[in-house]
């Protein structure tokens, strides 16, 4: 009985939540239709205020039966409609926009040039192009009078300092009536989508090699990690080595601590996990520096493995970012995905649970995260016990979160802590190649 009552309450709560979502979507749809109607009407702010203000004297005339107020209300509406009718129509102008590229890298600077040619004489108008705030200031240029066949140029710069997907434009010419009540917008150039790729550094990560063998050898058949841990040799003890690997007889004979080396399992499958949980990353305004650093590291590792011929797939908390891809020609496609990725509310445990349930265990896994919760550490332990090789790159931006990464080292994963101010190539070249424990 209690279970049935609890189920009824949960169903009712779910129904109420769906109703609220439906109401919010309806309100948003009405708002979009209203904005679209105002745009089609072509009224400026002055015209909108005049049209709305004409209702007040009409209501007053309705109450007080005043003819003068009726004349005032109808006269205001007539003025707005006349100005809308007299506003210049579509302009006969052609525009050529050069200097934009579909894909650029973070830090690049673009010089955009716009060439305008008038097919016939025109009066004054305003040239306007929308530019996102992160790239620069919007282009607004007033043009006085243009004769037929006249050509003129304008230029502006785009500073691509932030990764992301941006829409440039549309480039429009705006004309108004003499009293500024209505306006007409003529589209000269359609919107342009600009992808700013994250900065890619040349990192060194060689999961296909034996750990202490150079040059690297690639056998014809890949082996999963558990079957590739045969005895390979011995070497001197180094700080960070597992004490259980010490060979005491050899140490007593050589008077030096000696540890056993195992031949690493070899694989050409790489799985990159990017932690997109918004609550784990830093937040400075609308930009997360720790997340941008994590994306940069993920992009550098992915491009490096693709160029080397590995099979790479990238996972995020909410689901896969890419399917399995191989070959250097897929680097552009991979970087396009890295340009679009954003944070979400899904916890890291979601993707770890998905990989634990995946029967595949022959992929070298690199986890890029700023923090490990107890649940994440438990799932990471299950992943390691299954035989998956795991490297954790900890993006340290909070000293308290840095201690949570030591749990991964205790579980047997290679942990690489990197700070926000560290160079990605320098940090990963020395750390990821060999790996170390915190």
**How many CB atoms neighbour CB 320 within 10 A?**
14
Contact 88, 143 (CB under 8 A): no
- List pLDDT tens digits, range 212-252: 333 344 444 434 333 344 566 787 887 767 787 888 998 99
Model pLDDT, residue 142: 86
What is d(CA 173, CA 144) in angstroms, rounded to the nearest whole number? 12
Contacts of 422 (CB under 8 A, 6+ apart): none
Q: Where is pLDDT greater, at 230 or 109? A: 109
Model pLDDT, residue 132: 92
What is d(CA 307, CA 201) in angstroms, rounded to the nearest whole number? 13
Mean pLDDT, residues 262-279: 79
Contact 307, 325 (CB under 8 A): no
Name the β-bridge partners of 146.
Answer: 122
Model pLDDT, residue 224: 39
**CATH fold group of domain 93-197:** Immunoglobulin-like (2.60.40)
Contact 53, 80 (CB under 8 A): no
Contacts of 406 (CB under 8 A, 6+ apart): 415, 438
Contacts of 291 (CB under 8 A, 6+ apart): 276, 281, 282, 343
What is d(CA 18, CA 170) in angstroms, rounded to the nearest whole number? 36
- Judged against a pLDDT cut of 50, whether residue 429 lies above it is answered with yes
The domain ranges of the chain are: 38-86, 93-197, 230-262, 269-431
pTM reported for the whole predicted model: 0.71
Mean pLDDT, residues 314-326: 92
- Judged against a pLDDT cut of 80, whether residue 288 lies above it is answered with yes
Helix/strand/coil for 411: helix
- Judged against a pLDDT cut of 60, whether residue 338 lies above it is answered with yes
Torsion, Cα of 339, 168, 190, 126 (10° steps): 170
Write b or e for each residue in 280-318: b if 16 or more Cβ atoms lie within 10 A of its Cβ, otherwise e: bbbeeeeebebbbbbbbbbbbbbbbbbebebbbbbbbbe
Mean pLDDT, residues 261-276: 76
- List pLDDT tens digits, range 167-196: 998 998 888 776 767 777 888 889 999 999
Residue written as token pair 């600077």: 109
What is d(CA 327, CA 308) in angstroms, rounded to the nearest whole number? 7
The distance in angstroms from the start CA to the end CA of the chain is: 53
What is d(CA 206, CA 332) in angstroms, rounded to the nearest whole number? 21
Mean pLDDT, residues 365-374: 89
Model pLDDT, residue 5: 52
**The domain 269-431: what is its CATH number?**
3.40.50.410
Model pLDDT, residue 12: 58
- Judged against a pLDDT cut of 80, whether residue 45 lies above it is answered with no
Model pLDDT, residue 334: 96
**How many CB atoms neighbour CB 252 within 10 A?**
10
Strands across the sheet containing 125-129? 139-143, 125-129, 171-176, 183-189
Q: pLDDT-derived band of residue 368, with 50, 70 and 90 as boundaries?
A: very high
Model pLDDT, residue 275: 94
- Using alpha carbons only, give the angle 414, 418, 424 rounded to the nearest 5 degrees: 105
Contact 204, 342 (CB under 8 A): no
Mean pLDDT, residues 85-110: 85
Q: pLDDT-derived band of residue 61, with 50, 70 and 90 as boundaries?
A: confident
């Amino acid at each position: 009985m209690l279970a049935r009552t609890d189920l009824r309450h949960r169903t009712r709560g779910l129904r109420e939540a769906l109703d609220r979502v439906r109401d919010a979507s309806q309100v948003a749809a009405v708002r979009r239709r209203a904005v679209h109607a105002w745009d089609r009407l072509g009224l400026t702010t002055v015209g909108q205020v005049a049209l709305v203000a004409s209702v007040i004297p009409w209501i007053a005339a309705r109450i007080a039966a005043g003819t003068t107020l009726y004349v005032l209300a109808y006269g205001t509406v007539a003025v707005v409609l006349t100005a809308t009718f007299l506003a210049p129509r579509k302009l006969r102008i052609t525009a050529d926009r050069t200097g934009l590229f579909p894909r650029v890298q973070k830090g690049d600077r673009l010089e955009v040039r716009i060439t305008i040619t008038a097919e016939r004489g025109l009066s004054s108008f305003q040239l306007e192009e929308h530019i996102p705030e992160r790239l620069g200031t919007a282009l607004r240029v007033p043009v006085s009078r243009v004769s037929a066949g006249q050509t003129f140029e304008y230029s502006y710069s785009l500073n691509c300092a932030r990764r992301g997907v941006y829409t440039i434009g549309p480039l429009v010419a705006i004309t108004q009536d003499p009293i500024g009540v209505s306006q007409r917008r003529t589209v000269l150039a359609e919107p342009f989508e600009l992808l700013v790729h994250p900065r890619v550094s040349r990192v060194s990560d060689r999961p296909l090699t034996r750990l202490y063998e150079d040059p690297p050898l690639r056998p014809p058949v890949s082996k999963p990690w558990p079957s590739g841990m045969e005895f390979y040799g011995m070497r001197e003890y180094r700080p960070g080595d597992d004490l259980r690997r010490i060979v005491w007889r050899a140490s007593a004979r050589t008077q030096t601590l000696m540890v056993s080396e195992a031949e690493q399992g070899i694989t050409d499958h790489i799985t990159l996990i990017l932690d997109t949980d918004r609550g784990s990353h830093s937040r400075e305004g609308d930009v997360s520096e720790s997340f941008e650093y994590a994306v940069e590291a993920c992009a550098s590792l992915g491009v490096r493995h693709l160029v080397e011929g590995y099979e790479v797939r990238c996972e995020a908390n909410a689901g896969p970012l890419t399917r399995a891809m191989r070959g250097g020609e897929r680097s552009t496609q991979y970087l396009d995905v890295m340009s679009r990725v954003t944070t979400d509310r899904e916890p890291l445990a979601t993707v770890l649970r998905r990989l634990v349930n995946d029967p595949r265990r022959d992929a070298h896994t690199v986890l890029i995260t700023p923090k490990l919760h107890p649940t994440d550490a438990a799932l990471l332990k299950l992943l390691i016990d299954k035989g998956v090789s795991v490297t954790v790159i900890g993006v340290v931006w909070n000293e308290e979160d840095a201690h949570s990464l030591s749990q991964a080292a205790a579980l047997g994963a290679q942990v690489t802590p990197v700070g926000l101010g560290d160079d990605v190539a320098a940090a990963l070249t020395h750390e990821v190649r060999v790996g170390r424990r915190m």
